[in-house]
Chains A and B, each alone.
Chain A
Amino acid sequence: ELKVEQNPLFLSMQEGKNYTIYCNYSTTSDRLYWYRQDPGKSLESLFVLLSNGAVKQEGRLMASLDTKARLSTLHITAAVHDLSATYFCAVYGGATNKLIFGTGTLLAVQP
């Protein structure tokens, strides 16, 4: 059964600092997603990673995928307050057709 773990669950960081959120998953997959959720809102797609070694960047966020290690990272560069949100990774279990989410990382960027 596919399990997806994120860490940390909560991250408080200062503006201008760098940090990384980790997403580990338990079975083979070649499709991984990152989402952002603001309080009381729906989920917004950030990145779709479709192959080993894939790297995507948008502004201060960069996501990468290592399918051999079953690991994806979301790197935050020079954080700003606007990045405060909950970030989810989700992994597609191809054989099961299920998209399974991690528990999320609540990011709070302090001025």
Chain B
Amino acid sequence: NAGVTQTPKFQVLKTGQSMTLQCAQDMNHEYMSWYRQDPGMGLRLIHYSVGAGITDQGEVPNGYNVSRSTTEDFPLRLLSAAPSQTSVYFCASSYFFGEGTFRNTQYFGPGTRLTVL
């Protein structure tokens, strides 16, 4: 298993540009989510999905769109990048249903470091 993969690892954008951060998992997990990490702020939930075709907003959704057309993929779109979106972005996945530690462990991708100038 490759686990949770994210691309790209690094990206520099200019204000107003758009881009998509890719996230994929090969563990057949129902639950996927996107977080951003900023110094002193911990991780803040942007959007999440409990299955294909179902998405919902997290704590800081403004400026970001998501879709979930397959179980494996959960891309995050920045429609018009702003300097405030400079951050490290993490994608995570887990099972959504079931009991026990194995079914409830969240797996994180390696992260994407985004800079918006």
CB pair A42 B90 closer than 8 Å = yes
CB pair B42 A104 closer than 8 Å = yes
Q: Which of B12-20, B66-74, B77-85, B102-110 interfaces with chain A?
A: B102-110
Cβ of A78 within 8 Å of any chain B Cβ, yes or no, is no
What is the bound-complex CA distance between A42 and B104, given in angstroms?
Answer: 18
Cβ of A69 within 8 Å of any chain B Cβ, yes or no, is no
Contact partner, A42, options B45, B99, B101, B108, Cβ 8 Å = B108
CB pair A45 B42 closer than 8 Å = no
Known: A48-B104, A102-B42. A97 touches B50 (CB 8 A): yes
Nearest A-chain residue to B31, judged by Cβ: A97
Interface residues on A, range: 20 to 34
CB pair A101 B42 closer than 8 Å = yes
Known: A31-B104, A43-B90. A100 touches B56 (CB 8 A): no
Known: A42-B90, A88-B42, A88-B43. A100 touches B106 (CB 8 A): no
CB pair B45 A98 closer than 8 Å = yes
Question: Which residues on the B side are within 8 Å of A48 (C-beta)?
Answer: 101, 104-105
Shortest distance from the beta carbon of A33 to any chain B beta carbon, whole Å: 7
Cβ of B33 within 8 Å of any chain A Cβ, yes or no, is yes
What is the bound-complex CA distance between A33 and B107, given in angstroms?
Answer: 12
What is the bound-complex CA distance between A33 and B42, given in angstroms?
Answer: 14
Interface positions of B (Cβ within 8 A of A): 31, 33, 35, 40-45, 48, 50, 56, 58-59, 90, 92, 96, 99-101, 104-111
Q: 6 shortest A-B CB distances, which residue pairs?
A: A103-B42, A101-B43, A43-B108, A48-B101, A101-B42, A42-B108
